[in-house]
Amino acid sequence: MDAMMSRLSPLESAVAEAISHQYPVATSALLSQLATATVTGRDFTGSGFFTEFEVSRSAPSAPTAIGPVGWIGALVGPDRYPMEFMLYVREGFAHMIEAYSYGDGYGELDLINAEFSRPTAIDTYQL
């Protein structure tokens, strides 16, 4: 696996951290898990992406965090393309980030290396 695939990108990391903070009872466990995340695959869909990863099972499991969690938005790239994100948790362990948009697609934007606004709750981010 190449080095780009092994770590979460800055955008993925920022989004996952912001989502973790939305769940106070699970924040510490999720942050511990995410610190060990190793990317196993990325699928770019044209209107978003899925990033799958593995975390250490020796990290604490996240209590009460099940399924897709979070509702985070960020503006990505120089044109501030609006995207929303969810973190998937299975059996207490984070395993995937989903990014999506309602626009017509992000074109040639490099979602791994693009600049982005601070990820925030959907009801607070500004277009």
Show the 3-state SS of the chain: CCHHHHCCCHHHHHHHHHHHCCCCCCHHHHHHHHCCCEEEEEEECCCEEEEEEECCCCCCCCCCCCEEEEEEEEEECCCCEEEEEEEEEECCEEEEEEEECCCCCCCCCCCCCCCECCCEECCCCCC
Sign of CA dihedral 12, 17, 20, 21: negative
- CB contact at 8 A, 95 and 53: yes
**Is 51 part of any domain?**
yes
**Is 49 part of any domain?**
yes
Instruction: Give pLDDT, residue 58.
Output: 95
**Is 67 part of any domain?**
yes
**Is 127 part of any domain?**
no
What's the structural domain count of the chain? 1
Query: By residue range, what is the domain housing residue 60?
Result: 3-121
**Is 116 part of any domain?**
yes
**Is 68 part of any domain?**
yes
pLDDT tens-digit profile, the chain (127 residues): 454 558 999 999 999 999 999 989 999 999 999 999 999 999 999 889 999 999 999 999 998 767 788 889 999 999 899 999 999 999 999 999 999 987 777 888 898 899 999 999 887 555 4
**Is 53 part of any domain?**
yes
**Is 126 part of any domain?**
no
Instruction: Give pLDDT, residue 1.
Output: 44
